[in-house]
Amino acid sequence: LMFAKTAAVSERIHEQVRDRQLEKEYVCRVEGEFPTEEVTCKEPILVVSYKVGVCRVDARGKPCETVFQRLSYNGHSSVVRCRPLTGRTHQIRVHLQFLGHPILNDPIYNSVAWGPSRGRGGHIPKTDEELLRDLVAEHQAKQSLDVLDLCEGDLSPGLIGSTAPSSELGKDHLGELAASAQKMDGAVEAAPQVLDTMALAPEKATETDVVNQEIDPLCEECRLVRQDPLPQDLVMFLHALRYKGPGFEYFSPMPAWAQDDWQE
């Protein structure tokens, strides 16, 4: 993110972005061995859902262009320099998925919800509705709906409830995800309590009780104890490396995961 200190500078940067005068370079770590030669992807990108924040390559989408150059390969994953020449939502991530080299820890575009090929070549063996449902189901099982910028209250009946996951993300797989997520997070549910509902009636609760009450005894979520995520779980391997426009240039150092001695 860039923040201007004055309105005049803010307007000037906005004009540079609008007129495509701003050069941007990113670096990422992707799955597999990326080609050694420069790769240009011009596949159009369509927004599948603004609410969930998911896009995909589609002929009906807006024109896009990204230039990729491999910097290194460690036998398992590649560090790639990315130059987006347009500014579509999730452009780098979607183009890398299309090329078959999604970002190593991308929680959306490197997900099993896209099918066996994970969207390579634009092959997605399901409808947009099925895709969204499976993405939401996967992150519900992992207790990570925030990745999709969602909370439980945002979910419509079309995404949860009576609609079963598609065959690509069956119940057995969701059960495994839920079990592993619960084990990883150390979720522990407290023993059931016998609640006196009359004592919880609004007319009998004093103002002091409401202020001091930290846990709602009627809320199942309040009885779950979850560990905080690890630092590495909060970082995706996509980093803004350089921004350059008329009159200014910004560089940032290479992140640790892009170094040659980084180990997976």
**What is the structure's pLDDT at 162?**
36
- pTM given for the model: 0.71
pLDDT of amino acid 138? 84
Are 119 and 168 spatial neighbours (Cβ–Cβ below 8 Å)? no
Both 26 and 102 in one domain: the answer is yes
pLDDT at 143: 63
- Quote the CA–CA distance of 231 and 191 in Å, as a whole number: 31
For 78, the 3-state DSSP assignment is: strand
Beta carbons within 8 Å of 177's beta carbon, 6+ residues apart: 138, 141, 142
Higher confidence at residue 42 or residue 177? 42
Answer yes or no: is 200 within a domain.
no
**What is the predicted pLDDT for the residue at 120?**
97
pLDDT of residue 51: 85
- pLDDT at position 261 is 87
- List strands edge to edge, sheet with 39-41: 39-41, 66-73, 77-84, 23-31, 238-245, 248-251
pLDDT digits (tens, 9 = 90+) for 69-126: 999 999 999 999 999 999 999 999 999 999 999 999 999 999 999 999 999 999 999 9
Judge whether 30 lies within some domain: yes
Place of tokens 């780098």: 92
User: H helices of 75-158, where?
Assistant: 91-98, 128-141
Determine, yes or no, domain membership for 197. Answer: no
Residue 153 to residue 116: CA distance in whole angstroms: 30
2 in a structural domain: no
Q: Residue 244: give its domain's CATH number.
A: 3.30.2350.10
C-beta of residue 193 within 8 angstroms of C-beta of residue 217: yes
More confident residue, 62 or 228: 62
Give the Cβ contact number of residue 187 at 10 Å: 14
Ramachandran assignment for 199, one of left (phi > 0), alpha (psi -120 to 50 degrees), beta (any other): alpha
pLDDT for residue 129 is more than 60: yes
Based on the structure, what is the number of domains in the chain? 2
Distance from the Cα of residue 200 to its chain's centroid: 40
**Assigned domain for 247 exists:** yes
d(C-alpha 205, C-alpha 194), whole Å: 18
| Residue 194 included in any domain | no
Answer yes or no: is 166 within a domain: yes
For 137-163, write each residue's pLDDT tens digit: 887 776 666 666 655 555 565 554 433
Percent of the chain exceeding pLDDT 70 equals: 70
Neighbours of 250 (CB within 10 A): 11
Rounded Cα gap, residues 4 and 10, in angstroms: 5
Phi first, then psi: what are they for 30, rounded to 5°?
A: -120, 165
Chain position carrying tokens 């350059």 = 244
The three-state secondary structure class of 256 is helix
Host domain of residue 132: 126-186+222-227
In a domain, 14, yes or no: no
Tell me whether strands 248-251 and 224-225 are parallel, antiparallel or unpaired. unpaired
